[in-house]
Amino acid sequence: MQSYDLLVLGGGSAGFAAAIRAAEANKRVAMIEGGTMGGTCVNVGCVPSKTLIAAANTRHAALHPRFQGLNLSGTAVDWSTVMGDKTALVEALRQAKYADVLAAYPQIEWVAGHGVIRTTDPVTVTVGTDTLVAPRLIVATGAHPWAPPIPGLADTPYWTSTEALASETLPETLLVIGGSAVGLEIGQLYQRLGSQVTVLEALDRIVPLEDTEVSEGLAQYLRTEGLGIHVGVQIQSVAHEDGHFTVQALSGGRAQTFTADRLLVATGRRPNTADFGLAEVGVAMDSRGAMVVNDRLQTSLPTIYAAGDVTGQAMFVYVAAEAGSIAATNALGLGDRILDVTTLPKVTFTDPQVASVGLTDAGTEAAGLDCTCTSLPLAYVPRALANRDTRGFIKLVVEHGTERIVGMHVVAPEAGEIIQVGTLAVKYAMSLSDVTSLFFPYLTMVEGVKLAAITFHKDVSTLSCCAGS
């Protein structure tokens, strides 16, 4: 039996953040992980997907130059080299951002193996024949891709995002079930690298949690690029025979058959809460298997906290890292912090990207706010003109009267870089005049935020370059 100040179950972003916060307070920590160090993001999520997206975008730009006078070549795809380069980056970041980090914190002990909770006061966790004991436990076991119970699906070799980001071959055709961030990001990268991709979404629009204008705009751009986008699709069955997938569905009120070499199911994720002893010791969980926590990330049992995707809340790596630090702070009595995601920025890494923060049109109605909205097409942003890429817009949601900015929604190649200005504006209740009074460097995409704010009171087409507010 080995004693610690804190046990952390899970070696991903949330687990590392929790362990580091405890180590900084000179607490002795055991971090228990039965899988690959680093969790989802670095191994099978953000890092591999974003580097493959960057590779796909590079090829697409070469095939479709936006500037006259350019004759680009070298657009053939050596798939094994592309994937090998991706794998090398994953391994390098796993080493640098996780394995090497442990050396800087001698208070953290890495325990390889599957941990099972046995008691809760004190907390005991068994790992093989070893028993670890501490006053507090933080569960940070992450989540896994989830597939709906479609008839026939379980009997086929379908892909989740994990397999799609590790495929040894580039399929000629790819079907994607799910039109949210993961499905669209992976679908577009495969389209740009040479596959013919068709996306099937059950709801009436893609990225359905985003502003309606955003959904419509992104769908238009993806279709222009050649992706098949079908919404309102009810999947009836899936079959696999002779190396081909067949999906029977109802679409537009009529029966349709979709076929492809590969099938990606991107219909969300579910928390990893089975087989860790959580139910046996009485930790409350919701209908999707997520651990129920309060705003201080404490579970129904006072000695157990949870952080990251295992709680089912805002499954983003940057939220998981913050949550891990907050959970450790509260579990060890180092402070009293809450997790507040009301001004959380979100990014979908398609091209153009989608980014949002705060309220949508529909959200203002639910919040009882009287708001007005204005969308500025990127054709009015000088940098977009210089880039020869005016796809997209910047939309501000503003409270009537106070002119307080309560939401921002962006469709743009650099939307993820632009959105942080909106995050600050929403979090600190900035008004239109607060934004227009700031200096924005000329010939930057973020200058579009100021122009969007000016649009509420002026016609920006009548302003000169670098015009004041």
Residues tagged in the binding site annotation for NAD(+): 178-185, 201, 268
CA angle 259, 261, 262 (to 5 degrees): 100
> Got the DSSP string for 335-367?
-------TT--EEE-SSSEEEEEE--HHHHHHT
Report the distance separating Cα 288 and Cα 466, nearest Å: 51
Cis peptide before 122 (omega within 30 of 0): yes
Q: Which helix (H) or strand (E) holds 43?
A: helix 39-44
Closest by alpha carbon to 10, among 129, 106, 124, 143?
A: 143
Q: How many CA atoms lie within 13 A of 36 on its CB side?
A: 13
Report the distance separating Cα 452 and Cα 446, nearest Å: 10
Cis peptide before 271 (omega within 30 of 0): no
Helix, coil or strand: residue 34 = coil
Q: Length of the chain, please?
A: 469
Tell me the binding residues. Answer: 50, 115, 178-185, 201, 268, 309
Tell me the binding residues for FAD. Answer: 50, 115, 309
User: Contacts for 283-292 with beta carbons within 8 Å, 24 or more apart?
Assistant: 286/312, 288/312, 291/139
User: Residue 182: CB partners within 8 Å, gap ≥ 6?
Assistant: 49, 161, 266
Report the distance separating Cα 335 and Cα 51, nearest Å: 38
Amino acid letter at 272? N
What is the token pair recorded at 130? Answer: 């070893």
CA 348 vs CA 127, 280, 351: distances in Å: 38, 38, 9
Q: Which helix (H) or strand (E) holds 177?
A: strand 173-177
Would the CA dihedral through 209, 182, 268, 279 be positive or negative? negative
Alpha helices in 273-414 (DSSP H): 278-281, 317-331, 361-366, 382-386
Amino acid letter at 96? A
